[in-house]
Amino acid sequence: MKVIDSNQIDSASSHVPTDWAAINWHLVQKNVRVMQIRLAKATQEGNWRRVKSLQRWLTHSFSAKALAVKRVTENQGKRTAGVDQVLWDSPPQKYAAIAQLKKQRYRPLPLRRVHIPKSNGKMRPLGIPTMRDRAMQALHLLALDPVLETVSDPNSYGFRKNRCTADAMSQIFVKMSQKVSAEWVLDADIEGFFDNINHDWMIDNICMDKSILMKWLKAGVVDRKQLLATTAGTPQGGIISPALANWTLNGLETELIAHLGAKLGKSKIKGLKVGVIRYADDFVVTGASQEFLEAEVRPWIEAFLAQRGLRLSAAKTKIVHIDEGFDFLGWNFRKYSGKLLIKPSKKNVKTFYEKLRNVVSDNLGAKQVNLIGLLNPMLRGWSQYHSPVVAKETFSRIDHLLFWRLMRWAKRRHPKKNADWIRQRYWRSIGERNWVFAADTLTKDGDKGVMQMYSLPGTPIVRHKKIKGAYNPYDPEDEMYGETLRQERMLKNMSYRMEWAKLYADQRGRCAHCGHEMDMDTGWHDHHIEYRVEGGSDALGNRVLLHPNCHTQVHTLGLKVVKPVPE
């Protein structure tokens, strides 16, 4: 595959684009993708000198710099400024930012400390970098990620392309569902993971520009107008932080199995039933016996973590039998009479209901349609998360509790009305469903419609299709597998947006303008081929999905998009 020269990004000319709208994103993405594939291949071959050379080439290219700026100006944090209070929210600012991504004389500014609440009531500290530092992190992540994906443990699922919590859940099911499966689990918890990673270890072992990494780690943080030094850990909130965290724990699975094989013999490994399933810094280890996990596995893990400045939490780390059960990623795993059932954990259910209760309590005077608009995304997202497990009973229980919460909400508004009047005012019969919390509303066309609350019991339980452990998104041999898997999951996750799902399938998951793939990370916009202000309709035949930046480019340059022909 031919790499496009960084000075020939725009196919219509031989010079670098002169403004943001003129950048040919298809060629930019293609150029970066080709370099990432080469990086993955060099990593597979163990040619680390070439890896370093390719990383330097990529981080100095116009394509990668433009793509890094594009990412930080289109993601959810684009409106959140760092300590310098600078945002890149106009095309001239975005284009000028590309030239700022240089290693020479680069000095990151301290992070801005903010705190967000955790599920246990405590506060989680986040470090917000400036826009320039975020773009530099995004730039170097483009060069680090292909290497990380190639060397990662097969059953590491957190913050990796096309991998999710449901994959980790499915792997636990694979390792523990049979009668002859492992019966004991080391349920591990790392104490203060992000705050305690040893800086020297990271600089010595992570395959990226050492000087840049050191500057990020030592940048400091501004908390309540006070500058504090950062002597350990990696801040939560940076774009590259999940990759650094994954690299820190990488080898937990492969090195453990290699160690046990060398010490006890490869022939005994199968009988020991060892399995490591990790999602970011949360992981469990399966084993044939409690003694084996306590005497062989736990000491090795403690030594592995100690090298990285980390340690297990004595209070939260425990070894349990599968008949007793354990919680992981919001699910409870437990065998009942020899059958493994995975259900939403009690803690997760309680936390979710508290959120629902608070929303209802905080909106006592809100219109019914507005309350439904607040509740529906919460109900839909939570139910979709638990849809691959045994959750029907839980869905019905939460639906019942929410019904009485809404009944109290309605009675408070009309204390002198009886239950029958309230029922007729706020609940309806729709199709085969009775007692549907629903309200009249207006559609975009001005017609009357009905907004109804999402039905938790109506959520279908669909078994999750686990990704294969050896999948590498930067390996051309895995391209078809990844594309098929990604499309299947996108269509499932977008089932409540049937029109978008139809457009996505017709376009084979690719932008109708640049032809590059779309996913949850890139986002998409719904574009009308014939503009609505010119009389265009909302019919699917007049709409296509575009990348957000492609959408802006089409409108800025007055380009015409042709409806792709489904294959």
Least reliable range by pLDDT among 11-20, 89-98, 221-230, 247-256: 11-20
Mean confidence (pLDDT) of the chain: 89
**Last-in-domain residue among 222, 248, 274:** 248
Q: Does residue 379 surpass a pLDDT of 80?
A: yes
Q: Are 67 and 113 contained in the same domain?
A: yes
**Which residues, including other chains, have CB under 8 Å from residue 466's CB and lie 6 or more apart?**
166, 167, 170, 171, 174
Question: Does some domain include residue 300?
Answer: no
What phi and psi, each to the nearest 5 degrees, are found at residue 239?
-65, -35
Q: Are 141 and 78 contained in the same domain?
A: yes
What phi and psi, each to the nearest 5 degrees, are found at residue 326?
-150, 155
Q: How far apart are CA 236 and CA 336, in angstroms?
A: 38
Helix (H, G, I), strand (E, B) or coil at 336: strand
Res 207: pLDDT = 96
Q: How far apart are CA 121 and CA 462, in angstroms?
A: 32
Model confidence pLDDT, tens digit, residues 318-346:
999 999 999 999 999 999 999 999 999 99
Q: Are 364 and 490 contained in the same domain?
A: no
Task: Determine which helix (DSSP H) or strand (DSSP E) holds 411, and give its type and residue range.
Answer: helix 392-413
| pLDDT confidence bin for 5, thresholds 50/70/90 | very low
Q: Does residue 137 surpass a pLDDT of 90?
A: yes
Q: How far apart are CA 441 and CA 449, in angstroms?
A: 5
Question: Does some domain include residue 326?
Answer: no
Res 566: pLDDT = 67
Q: Does residue 494 surpass a pLDDT of 60?
A: no
Residue 24 in tokens: 């040919």
Longest pairwise C-alpha distance within the chain: 79
**Which residues, including other chains, have CB under 8 Å from residue 474's CB and lie 6 or more apart?**
36, 37, 39, 40, 145, 146, 149, 150
**Last-in-domain residue among 407, 427, 458:** 458
Res 77: pLDDT = 82
Query: Distances in Å between the alpha carbon of 437 and those of 422, 451, 484, 526?
Result: 11, 9, 38, 30
Question: Does some domain include residue 472?
Answer: no
Q: What would the DSSP string read from start to end of 517-528? A: B--TTT--EEEE
Question: Does some domain include residue 276?
Answer: no
Q: In terms of residue numbers, what domain contains 355?
A: 346-458
Q: Does residue 268 surpass a pLDDT of 90?
A: no
Q: Does residue 445 surpass a pLDDT of 70?
A: no
Residue 129 in tokens: 């970098």
Q: Are 433 and 490 contained in the same domain?
A: no
Q: Are 390 and 525 contained in the same domain?
A: no
Q: Are 354 and 427 contained in the same domain?
A: yes
Q: Are 142 and 201 contained in the same domain?
A: yes
Higher pLDDT, 147 or 480: 147
Question: Does some domain include residue 304?
Answer: no
pTM (2 d.p.)? 0.84
Question: Does some domain include residue 261?
Answer: no
Q: How far apart are CA 251 and CA 241, in angstroms?
A: 18
Q: How far apart are CA 426 and CA 424, in angstroms?
A: 6
Structure-token match 């639906």, residue found: 399
Mean pLDDT confidence for 228-256: 90
| pLDDT confidence bin for 14, thresholds 50/70/90 | very low
